[in-house]
Amino acid sequence: MELNAVTIGFFVFTILTLGGGIGVVTTRNLFQGTIWLMVSLFGVAGYFVLLSAPFLAAVQVLVYIGAIAILITFAVMLTRSVTRIKERYIRTIPSFVASLALFLVLLFGITVPIFGDYPSEMAPTVVMTTRDLGVALVEGNGYVVPFLLASVLLTAAMIGAIFIARDEES
């Protein structure tokens, strides 16, 4: 594996993603946890750029870092505990052992080719662009049905979230 821009970017985004993830699960202050979550999601957006999916990277930054992180920040502020939580973690050792075991099983499955050999590492050189995705989303033999269903789902989720979180007295 030669050292070029893609490789350096991969390692930088690996540090951002995994470091941010570890920060999310280990920090005691949930505000700092939200910041770490933003760092981790930014690293994932960088992976999307490396994998030649720039539209998904833009959506990742807009939706996750722009919207969901702000939403989590609001939830942290609105649910500031009156009675301070004494212990912030439960079952720390069993959880750590379980997730480590899961990681080892997954790593074994990734690196050891049980189900036949790997396909060649050469990826296709011609990649569909964002314009092709936009056409496929509204085309009859494309993804028009899931696209419309997703629109309905988003509307229902928005109405449901407003209805659930509404204050009863006012």
Partner 1 sequence: MVPLWMYLAVAAALFCIGVFGVLSRRNAVAILMGVELMLNAVNINLVAFWRYSETGTTLLLNGYAFTAFVLIIAAAEAAVGLGIIITVYRNRRSVIPEEADTLKG
Question: What's the min distance (Å) between Cβ of 49 and partner 1?
Answer: 10
CB-neighbour burial class of residue 40 (10 A; exposed 0-12, middle 13-18, buried 19+): buried
Judge whether 53 and 79 are in contact, CB under 8 Å: no
Question: What's the min distance (Å) between Cβ of 115 and partner 1?
Answer: 14
Nearer to partner 1, 140 or 164 (CB): 164
Distance CA 107, CA 29 (A): 31
Q: Which amino acid is at 46?
A: G
Q: Which amino acid is at 86?
A: K
Question: What's the min distance (Å) between Cβ of 94 and partner 1?
Answer: 8
Tokens of residue 120, six digits:
């060649």
Question: What's the min distance (Å) between Cβ of 26 and partner 1?
Answer: 9
Question: What's the min distance (Å) between Cβ of 140 and partner 1?
Answer: 15
CB-neighbour burial class of residue 145 (10 A; exposed 0-12, middle 13-18, buried 19+): exposed
Q: Which amino acid is at 47?
A: Y
Distance CA 165, CA 129 (A): 39
